[in-house]
Structures are given as structure tokens and as C-alpha cells.
Structure 1
Amino acid sequence: MNAASTITAGIVVLTVITIESGGVFLLRVVGGRKPANALQTSFFRAGHAHAGVLVILGLVTLLLTSAADVADPWAWLGPLGVLIAAILMPAGFFLSVLGRDPQRPGRLVALVWAGAGVLALGLATTGVSLVVTGATA
């Protein structure tokens, strides 16, 4: 791995600490120690799950493009899209249900959809760049 990929991976691994603290928050919600309605509880669960899975997926794409020696900018563009989605989607789940007793998600749920689009682009870029790199090797 090059220096930029190594630093990015290190930063991403450190962000798992924030996901862990989100898990503690979620345990408080589910345990009834933090008030939340059913919508909030389900969105908090979805946000936490998406954060964990997408961070791991972002690290995997970073490692794959690095191991395959994919050319720049494709080597970092695809993984960066996945990692940006790992921020956008959970943020949309959490921020769209803030408040005392929301009955439906707020406008910030658009971040979930934006993240889904960025995720698709990041994965498509990673997949195509891996196939092209493999085919030309």
C-alpha cells in the first residue's frame, strides 16, 4: 500500500471508535434508558449497521485496489466513494429522526439516498477498475 492509502486506512480504523460509541447509545435506546419512539429506534439501528458495514466495505475496497495496483485516480476514487457513503447514509438515518417524537423522517433522510448513489458509483468504479486492471495484467 502507498502512504496515502495507509494513512487513509489508519484514519478509517480510528473512526470505528465512533461507531462503537454509537453502539453504546443504541444499547441505551433499546434498553429503555434513552427515550426513543419506534421510528427513531429503527433508524438508529439502521444508521449504526450501515456505518459498521460500509466502513468495513470501504477498507476492503481500499485494500483490493491497492493489492491489484490499480492506477490512479481509480485506485482511490472508488474506495473514497464507499467511505463517503459510510458517512452520508448513517448521518441521514440519525439526523432525519431527531426530536422528541417524530412520526416520520425529516428532510435529512435525503442523505441516505445521496449516500446510496455515492455508494453505487464507488462500487462500480472499484469493480470496473479491478476488472480492467486484471484484464490488462
Structure 2
Amino acid sequence: MPAQDVILVGILLLALVTVESGGYFLTKVVRGNVPANRLQMSFFRAGHAHAAVLLVLSIAILAVISNAALDGFWLWLASAGVPVAAILMPAGFFLSVIGSDPQRPNRLIWLLWIGAAVLTAALITAGVGLIAGGVAAL
């Protein structure tokens, strides 16, 4: 694994600690210690879950991406796209419902959709690159 990927894995592992602290915040929300309406509770849960899953998925991709038939921008997208989505998507969930008793998400919901587009592009690139790398190794 290239050194920059090892460093990124270390950063992602440390980022999981912030997700862990977000879990503590969620326990306060569901116990009623932090005021939140149903929309906020749903979006907070979704943001928390997406953050954790995407960080772990990022680590899994980095473990194998050196076997992909990719270079340059495409290798960068396959390696960094999911970690970028792990920032954008939860940010969209959390930031779009901040405030007192919002009834619908605000404009920052676009962060979620931008993150989803980046995630899709990264997964397709990584998948195709890994298949091509595997076929070439046969």
C-alpha cells in the first residue's frame, strides 16, 4: 500500500472517533436531553450512520485499490472519492436541519446530493478499475 494511502487510513481511523462522539450526541437526542423534532432525529441518525459506513468503506477500498488498473485522476477519484463523500453526505444531513424546529431541510441538503454523486463516481471508478486490474493479472 502506498504511503499516502497508509496515512489516509490513519486519518480515517481517527475520524471514526468523531463518529463515536456523534453517537454519544445521538443518545442525548433520543433520551430527550437535546431538543430535536422528528425530522432532525431522522437526519441526525442518517448522518451518523452514513459517516460510519462510508469511513469503513473508505478503508476497505484503500486496502485493495493498489490492485486497480487506474492512474492519475482516476486513481485519485477511486481512492479519495469515498472519504470525500464521508464528509459531504453527513454534513448535508446534519447542516440541513440545524435550527429550532425545522419543518424541512434547508439549502445545505445539496451537500448530501453532491456527496452522493461523488460516492457513485468513486465506486464505479474503483469497481471498474479493480475488475480491469484483476483481469489483467489473470
Q: How far 1:70 sits from its partner (Å)? A: 4.5
Q: In the TM superposition, what whole-angstrom CA distance separates every residue of 1:38-61 from its partner, at most 9, and x where no partner exists?
A: 000000000000000000111111
| More moved, 72-81 vs 103-112 | 72-81
Q: TM-score by structure 1 length?
A: 0.94
Residue 21 (structure 2) pairs with residue 16 (structure 1): no
| Aligned length in residues | 136
Q: How far 1:76 sits from its partner (Å)? A: 3.6
Contact 2:68 2:134 in 1 (8 A): no
Q: In the TM superposition, what whole-angstrom CA distance separates every residue of 1:22-74 from its partner, at most 9, and x where no partner exists?
A: 111111000100000000000000000000000011111111113x2654334
1:133 is aligned to 133
Unpaired runs of 5+ in structure 1? none
Cα distance between partner residues in 2 of 1:80 and 1:25? 28
State the 4+ residue runs in structure 1 displaced beyond 6 angstroms: none
Q: In the TM superposition, what whole-angstrom CA distance separates every residue of 1:65-112 from its partner, at most 9, and x where no partner exists?
A: 13x265433444212111100000000000000001100000001111
SS at match of 2:100: coil
Cα distance between partner residues in 1 of 2:28 and 2:115? 27
User: Percent of counterpart pairs with the same letter?
Assistant: 56
Q: TM-score by structure 2 length?
A: 0.94
1:48 is aligned to 48
Cα distance between partner residues in 1 of 2:120 and 2:103? 29
1:106 is aligned to 106
Cα distance between partner residues in 2 of 1:36 and 1:114? 25
After superposition, residues 1-137 of structure 1 pair within 5 angstroms as 1-66=1-66, 68=67, 70-73=69-72, 74-137=74-137
Contact 1:79 1:123 in 2 (8 A): no
Cα distance between partner residues in 2 of 1:69 and 1:109? 33
Unpaired runs of 5+ in structure 2? none
What is the Cα-based RMSD across aligned positions, in Å?
1.2
SS at match of 1:118: helix
